[in-house]
Chains A and B, each alone.
Chain A
Amino acid sequence: MKYVDEFRDPELAKTLLAEIERLLPKIKTTSQRPLQIMEFCGGHTHTIFRYGLEQLLPKTIELIHGPGCPVCVLPMGRVDDCIALAERPEVIFTTFGDAMRVPGSRKNLLQAKADGADVRMVYSPLDALELAKKNPDREVIFFALGFETTMPSTALTVLQAAEDNVKNFSLFCNHITTVPTIKAILDSPSMQLDGFVAPGHVSMVVGEEPFHFVANLYKKPIVITGFEPIDILQSLWLLIKQIAEGRCQVENQYARVVATGGNSPGLAAMASVFELRDYFEWRGLGSIDQSGVKMTEAYSHFDAEKKFSMPNLKVADPELCQCGEVLRGAIKPWQCQLFGTACTPETPMGALMVSSEGACAAYYNFGNLQEIMTLKEKSIS
């Protein structure tokens, strides 16, 4: 962790913390329980841990780390599907590096590659399309994953493939959507959230409008937020100010990147290539209505799920793994039995340990590990 004095603007950080401190006693609920604020996005979770923001905040604010890391919520069955596709002899399976180590029920993509499958890491879906053009006798599948942030890029790549009439390119579409997921969290009876730190780069694509229901229907404040530690502090201050003043609105702290209407070329591409699925399965969270997209009929010839048969099995998470509870904010990562012993970033058992944006990996990498393990031992004995 870092000390406030090492922040880029320590004076501003101190002022914000003092303002938060001053406002909190005005909020009645804080006398009974801490305010629970969820940061949805894994990028925010990463910043919070890297800069030790939780330690800087008063005890009457509790940060709940949301499910917004697309690699972490990928169910095991989908990883198994990837491996089944990758093991087909005609296939070159392309993926972002982040997805290589996500555990499937038998193996991960890295192991599949070691066993002879043609798995290649690409930086961009456009690189996968290039690969297809250069290997006309092979089938190139791109493993499309991510929230709305990466959806325009895959949609535009498919549009390009259509324009160039590339026949040996397809997507295994695992994109997931933010808004229905926030709704599912708000509808969950075990959750008592007081406000949301909304994802900055998802908002950059979708704009402010899709978040209005959080304020209007659910009466919770929500602030679109950048990724600097100071951005997060400022958003927390904005949220607490809203709560103290009895307001609930969508505010945009990240206006330097997020336009009110989002990114129109990106949204247009997404609208022609993707449509909502009835439901999508999440690791740890189960099925959430309309929380994923599939490819539209017009582009179904680029849909790997239509082009190839795959096992498409539901696989339960390993019994001891508690990723679901952590994702729902029911337990802290170190309270999982496997944390730091069977499950570490080198040997991840659960998906939250795989990506640097996963809450468990963040705790492991940036938390005070010794202190955490002592807490854990105490809680077990």
Chain B
Amino acid sequence: MCLGIPGQVVEIIDAAKHLAKVEISGVRRQISLACIVSDSHPIESCVGDWVLVHVGFAMSVINEDEARKTLELLMELGEAQKELEAMQSSEQN
């Protein structure tokens, strides 16, 4: 929850609500981009961004190399597995 997990924005789902599909370690999930969009970085330009995702929100744009290193660290700490499991088992219905 505190460490977050890196992913890549693959597609915008709802521009008005800042929602996008983000691929995180092979898992695709709806994520809010509300914290990373700005006038100079509008939502349409976010596709392809590597982002650090905390509990369903992209909190910061990072570069690809940083994303890869962070994921390796999270794997070693066992945190990545926990995050992915939480994502997949999350109840929305």
B91 touches A120 (CB 8 A): yes
Which residues of B from 11 to 38 have beta carbons under 8 Å from A?
17, 30, 32, 34-38
B54 near A149: Cβ-Cβ < 8 Å: yes
Stretch of A41-49, A77-85, A293-301, A341-349 with 4 or more beta carbons under 8 angstroms from chain B: A41-49
Asked, given contacts A126-B32, A130-B92, A266-B35, whether A43 binds B55 with beta carbons under 8 Å apart, the answer is no
Secondary structure at the B interface, as helix, strand, loop or mixed, is mixed
Which residues of B approach A to under 8 Å, CB–CB?
A: 1-4, 17, 30, 32, 34-38, 52, 54-57, 59-60, 62-63, 66, 69-70, 72-73, 76-79, 82-83, 86-87, 89-93
Is the pair A134, B93 in contact by a Cβ cutoff of 8 Å?
yes
How far is the CB of B53 from the nearest CB of chain A, in Å? 9
Partner of B73, one of A147, A227, A269: A227
Q: Which 7 A-B pairs have the closest CB atoms?
A: A124-B56, A123-B90, A120-B91, A130-B92, A153-B57, A123-B86, A127-B92
Q: Is A65 an interface residue (CB 8 A)?
A: no
Q: Please, how many residues of chain A have a CB less than 8 angstroms from a CB on the other chain?
A: 48
B-facing residues in A113-128 (Cβ within 8 Å):
120-127
Q: Footprint of B on A, CB under 8 Å?
A: 8, 41-43, 46-47, 50, 69-70, 94, 96-98, 120-127, 130-131, 134, 146-147, 149-150, 152-153, 156, 160, 201, 204-205, 227-228, 256-259, 263-266, 269, 356-357
Instruction: Give Cα A263 to B41, complex, Å.
Output: 14
Most A-side CB within 10 Å, residue of B30, B35, B38: B35
CA distance A271 to B66 in the complex (A): 30
Contact check, A98 vs B1: say whether CB atoms are below 8 A apart: yes
Question: Which of B1, B34, B69, B82 neighbours the largest number of chain A CB atoms within 10 Å of its CB?
Answer: B1
